[in-house]
A = this chain, B = another copy of it.
Amino acid sequence: MTDGKVLLAYSGGLDTSCILVWLKDQGYEVLCYMADVGQEEDFEAAREKALKIGATKVFIEDLRREFVDELIYPAVQANCIYEGVYLLGTSLARPVIARRQIDIARQEGCAYVSHGCTGKGNDQVRFELAFYALQPDIKVIAPWRVREFYDRFQGRADLLAYASEKGIPVVQTTSKPWSTDENLFHISYEAGILEDPDVTPPVDMWKLTVAAEDAPNTPERITIAFEKGIPVKVTNKDDGSVVTGSLEIFMYLNTLARKHGIGRVDIVENRFIGIKSRGCYETPGGTILRVAHMDLEGLTVDREVRAHRDQHLTPAFSNILYNGLYYSPERSFVTSSITSSQVTVNGEVRLKLYKAHVSVEGRSSATEQLYDMEESSMDVQGGLSPQDSEGFIKVQAIRIKKWGESVIRNGGKF
């Protein structure tokens, strides 16, 4: 590792361009790294810009398939969600981005990595905990936490002045009044005008999905087939499309969901560092998959397996992801039981997409038989004798009667 070399996570935007030049001015050799996790971005323009303003090398890496296979689908299998609403889109991309950054830093002999995250958010934590796990002796430069840097750049105007002084090309001289983070799973909007939690986001903020009002007036119906909790085929009966392949399925669901206005949420959440924060998110395809996967679990997963999983694996994995602890012993432990929970999640779910809403219209499984139509039937006895229910209730009642007697004895009321 060379003390003078730093691998910067570069976006092409104003902030990381200024950081690039500032790092060079501090005496570092700066290499740039851009991860393609599905965000809309002109990667080649960014490459040229980086080289132009002084990067000695630029690495652009397509991580989309590993993002889907290693992060998104396990999160779907585990029904991950944060605080009941947020599908964790930003968190999910961080582990693949950080891993490749460390790989390249190692390969290029960089003793340092750097990023443009602010000092109050979750992402600094997510990136750095991943860096430290993957390369415990890595040195991290977080300019927004370096006094010299943040004292100098107190607002956008300071960055623009610096860009002008240093010959950094600037595309937009004004920025949107919010920040975003985008990948193929989602886009987030926060900060700026959104900091007032009672301000309704402007209609033109939402980028990925159409408004429900503008979505088609006719529903569209699809069938998603799962194997071991992972989507393996999507069939669109309306237009005859059949899609397979992990990334391809995800992209296709994104297209459908965007068209039908599916996946917008707006919440006040709690950041890892303990600050409440307002965030708006669009997670189109992920929202469809969540509905479908949970539904198929109803048909194919044992009640107690589901209860244990819901009680522990789902919230634990969700928090681990949110807090940036993907590379941690607890994540290895917690996810070690995903496979066991998903072994029976085989079958198909039929969905209707209409005006921001995903509804289930039916589900079936050719292989799993925990659902037994005859046993379930109210009209047929099935294997169960009514006397058995009698005994079941009587035994459940032993403890309850004892308690009822004691409440009554103590004059309590119910």
Q: Which residues of A contact B (CB under 8 A)?
A: 79, 83-85, 99, 118-121, 124-125, 128-129, 132-136, 142, 144-147, 150, 155, 179, 190-192, 195-200, 212-213, 217, 219, 264-270, 273-278, 294-295, 298-299, 302-312, 315-316, 319, 325, 327-330, 332-334, 336-337, 339-341, 344, 350, 354-357, 359-364, 368-373, 375-379, 382-409, 414
Contact = CB atoms under 8 A, between A and B. Distances in A.
Contacts of A277: 376
19 contacts: A83-B298, A84-B310, A85-B298, A136-B405, A142-B390, A145-B386, A195-B376, A197-B362, A199-B362, A276-B370, A302-B399, A304-B333, A308-B312, A325-B400, A327-B404, A327-B414, A328-B399, A328-B400, A333-B341
A334 B277 CA distance: 24
Q: Which 10 residue pairs of A and B lie closest in terms of their CB atoms, listed nearest first?
A: A391-B391, A119-B386, A270-B303, A274-B399, A336-B340, A304-B330, A268-B298, A145-B386, A392-B395, A302-B329
A396 B310 CA distance: 21
A142 B393 CA distance: 12
Contact of A306 (B198, B270, B364, B371): B270
Contact of A361 (B200, B307, B325): B200
Contacts of A303: 270, 274, 276, 399
Given A197-B362, A414-B99, A397 B268 contact: no
Among A146, A332, A354, the one with the most B-chain Cβ atoms within 10 Å of its Cβ is A332
A345 B99 CA distance: 28
Most buried by B among A212, A329, A344, A373: A329
Contacts of A266: 359-361
A217 to B, nearest CB: 8
A276 B372 contact: yes
B197 A378 contact: no
Contacts of A265: 360
B350 A200 contact: yes
A393 B121 CA distance: 12
Contact of A334 (B274, B294, B308): B308
A332 B213 CA distance: 45
Contact of A389 (B124, B312, B334): B124
A277 B377 CA distance: 8
A35 to B, nearest CB: 16
Contacts of A396: 125, 129, 274, 392
A342 B68 CA distance: 30
Contacts of A305: 329-330, 332-333
Contacts of A118: 378
Contacts of A394: 384-385, 388, 391-392
B399 A191 contact: no
A407 B344 CA distance: 11
A334 B334 CA distance: 11
Given A370-B276, A386-B144, A333 B337 contact: yes
A85 B79 CA distance: 13
Given A277-B376, A356-B359, A392-B273, A414 B133 contact: yes
B400 A129 contact: yes
A236 to B, nearest CB: 17
Contact of A398 (B119, B295, B383, B390): B383
A369 B132 contact: no
A83 B375 CA distance: 20
